[in-house]
Every structure is written in structure tokens, then in C-alpha cells.
Amino acid sequence: MGGTLADKRDYYEVLDVERSATEKDLKNAFRRLARRYHPDRSEEPDAEDKFKEIQEAYAVLSDPDRRAHYDRFGHDSPAGNPFGGFSGGGFNINLEDLLGGDFFSGFFGGGRGRGRERRGSDILVRHSIELATVLTGSEESIELDLPAECKTCTGSGAKDGKTTTCSQCQGQGRVRVRQQIGPFVNEVVQDCRECGGTGSIIESPCNDCSGRGHRVEERTIRFNVPAGAEHGTRLRLRGQGQPAERGQGSHGDLLIEIEVLTHPWFERNGSDLIMSLPLGYPDLMLGTKISIDHIDGKKLDIVIPASSSAGHTLEIKKRGLPHMRRSGRGDVVVLLKLHVPDKISKADKKQLESMKSSLNPSDQVQRILDDASERRANE
Ligand SMILES: [Zn+2]
Ligand SMILES: [Zn+2]
């Protein structure tokens, strides 16, 4: 037993529970800590020691007799070493029962569910679309190099399809392993190393796929991009991903992540399209109409009323993108900006000078106040 009694931590402290903790509290605390410190999985430097400590504490506290004994005597038990009565075998904590199969499935290869159900990996590809495509949605078709079942061996990986049942696991693919960690014996279920968890041994591997059971093949993938799709939307094509190893189990999924290409002038805010429109002072003052090509194929007419202010916005209703979960379209929001030329002619300068007295605000302070209150009202 490592450590002296003096530097042994209190079991309740180890599990970070109250002395009144119920059986369920203990179990939850153990699960939480075991997930964090399991030596096969933890990256903490002292994980193994921590894990032993946690197991020991749990083994004692989860046993009512031992807990009562510990509560009375602590580590200074008159019976000496609290594990004295259990020479040899140690504690048999079934970690798989305690932590659940999911906890272990992550250790060995991963990517599969409970029990013997095996699944190929998911494959993620990115696909770019124009902003205009978001408007209507579209049926896309792309060529991809994807792993597909090897036709020569029908996915088994074996030449002539010949395999023998693995003697190590009797074809189960999984084996129970007793693991000794300090004084404890854990029973864990692992993938059989002999057969790679498949339950069968290939006598001679298929030449075309080197025994993997799948090869890369060019495939045409068709899918629908829904109208209103957002940048980063992932479409899941079930069963179109990687086949399971040696054809035993289901295919993974193919995930297509939609990338919406940047538009030259529109920004997107949900289903609204936002653009800024620089205008000369006369157009803002007198009003005007600007007509530009829009992504819906029609002209977008922007009517700027007389006496418009730079910094204000105009909304053109229902010319934005389709809403995702309801009918209709968002708006185009136009931010008015004042275009100021770098240089002006002498004649223009003279004219501007002459307009100063009539166009500049005479009540500057009042303007500042009005502007500030308008800004606050809009916040
Ligand atoms: Zn093959
Ligand atoms: Zn095996």
C-alpha cells in the first residue's frame, strides 16, 4: 500500500462529498471523478494515483459495513489496514457497469455505439454556394472521392471471402479483461486485439483493398440546399459516409457543410440583407431614385426621399432572403452614407461657400442636443 496513514486523505474529501452522502451521491461523485482521472483517458500527470485514491475511497464508502467502520475509526482502524481482510483479490469494481458502456467505447477506436454495433466514420465535406442560391434553394450535384465497399471482396476484406472465426474471442469481437490497478481488479470489456474487434480472421487479404474492405471511388452526390440556408448549415446524408470496417456494420454519414460565398455588397443578418449606399449631398438633399441589379434577378429600386440624412436607413420590404421556418422574405436594409469627393473644382467650392449661410445649421447647440436624444431613443 503506498503512503502512510498520516498522509492519507479523508475518503469523503477524496470524493468531494458530505459525510451524509447517499449511495447515489457517492456513485455520482465516483463517476464524475473517474471520468476525469481514468488513466487510459486522462491527461493529468498524476491521473493514475488519483484514480487509485478515488477507487479506494469509493470501494470503502459504497460498502455499508466498511463505511460504518471507517466512520468510527477512520484510517486508524484497530483492524489495521482497511484492506487487510481482502488479501489478494482486492476490490472488484465493475467499471463498465458503473460508468456505462459509452465511457469505454471511446477508448478503443471510437465511432461506434453500444455492444457490437459498428459504424463507419462520418465524412465532412464543404460546399460553397452563391448568396443568390440561398434565395431559391437548389438541387446540387457534386463529384466526390469517397470510400465505398470493395466490390472484389464485397467489403469483407478477405480474398475469396474466406474468413475464420477468431479463437481469441470466439467471434464476439470483444473480450473481458481483468486489469490490476494497485490493489484493485477492474473488469473491462475491450475490443479483441487478435481480430481488431471484428470477430473473424482473414486468411489472405483482398488484393484490391488490402483487407480493409473499402476503396476510394468517385461518386456523384445529389442533395438539396434549402432556401434560406445559413452559412455553416450541415446537411446529413445518412449512410453515405465510410463503410464499417470489413463491411460489418452500417455506413457512417456524409455531412455537407454549406458555405455561403461573400456577396460584393450585401451583408446578411438572418433573412435581411444589409448594404450601404454612398450618395452625394445634392441627392440626399433633393431626393433621388437608384436602380441596381438584385440577386432575385429583378431591379432593386431604392427611393431616397428629399431631405434624407446620412446615417439613416431605408427598408425595402420583402426583397431579402427567405425566412427559414416560415413563409415570406426578409428586407433589404439600405444604410445611407454621404459621399465626399477628395477634390472639388474652384467653381464648386465658390458655390458651396455661397450656400454655407443658408445650409449650415444656425442653432448648432440645439442640433447637437436633438441628435443626441434621437440617438438615445434608437438605442
Ligand atoms: Zn476488397
Ligand atoms: Zn477476436
SS (H, E, C) the chain: CCCCHHHCCCHHHHHCCCCCCCHHHHHHHHHHHHHHHCCCCCCCCCHHHHHHHHHHHHHHHCCHHHHHHHHHHCCCCCCCCCCCCCCCCCEEECHHHHHCHHHHHCCCCCCCCCCCCCECCCEEEEEEECHHHHHHCEEEEEEEEEEEECCCCCCCCEHHHCEEECCCCCCCCEEEEEEEECCEEEEEEEECCCCCCCCEEECCECCCCCCCCEEEEEEEEEEEECCCCCCCCEEEECCCCCCCHHHCCECCCEEEEEEECCCCCCEEECCEEEEEEEECHHHHHHCEEEEEECCCCCEEEEEECCCCCCCCEEEECCCCCECCCCCCECCEEEEEEECCCCCCCHHHHHHHHHHHHHHCCCCHHHHHHHHHHHHHHHC
Least confident of 89-98, 191-200, 327-336: 89-98
The top-level CATH class assigned to 267-378 is mainly beta
Q: pLDDT digits over 326-364, tens only?
A: 899 999 999 999 999 999 999 999 999 999 989 898 899
Superfamily of domain 119-152+210-262: Urease metallochaperone UreE, N-terminal domain (2.60.260.20)
* 235 Cα–ligand 1 center, Å: 30
Supply the pTM of this predicted model: 0.59
Least confident of 32-41, 232-241, 254-263, 264-273: 32-41
Q: Please give the average per-residue pLDDT across 149-159, as a whole number.
A: 87
The ligand placed nearest to the CA atom of residue 157 is: 1
Q: pLDDT digits over 261-314, tens only?
A: 999 999 999 999 999 999 999 999 999 999 999 999 999 999 999 999 999 999
State residue 186's pLDDT score: 77
Domain 5-87 falls in which CATH fold? Helix Hairpins (1.10.287)
CB 266 within 8 Å of CB 131: yes
Domain boundaries, the chain: 5-87, 119-152+210-262, 267-378
In the chain, the largest separation of any two C-alpha atoms, in whole Å, equals: 108
Residue 164 has pLDDT above 60, yes or no: yes
The ligand placed nearest to the CA atom of residue 175 is: 2
Residue 26 has pLDDT above 60, yes or no: yes
- 327 CB neighbour count, 10 Å cutoff: 6
* 247 Cα–ligand 1 center, Å: 10
* 205 Cα–ligand 1 center, Å: 8
Residue 96 has pLDDT above 70, yes or no: no
State residue 345's pLDDT score: 96
* 246 Cα–ligand 1 center, Å: 9
The ligand placed nearest to the CA atom of residue 196 is: 2
Q: Do domains 119-152+210-262 and 267-378 have the same CATH topology?
A: yes
State residue 94's pLDDT score: 59
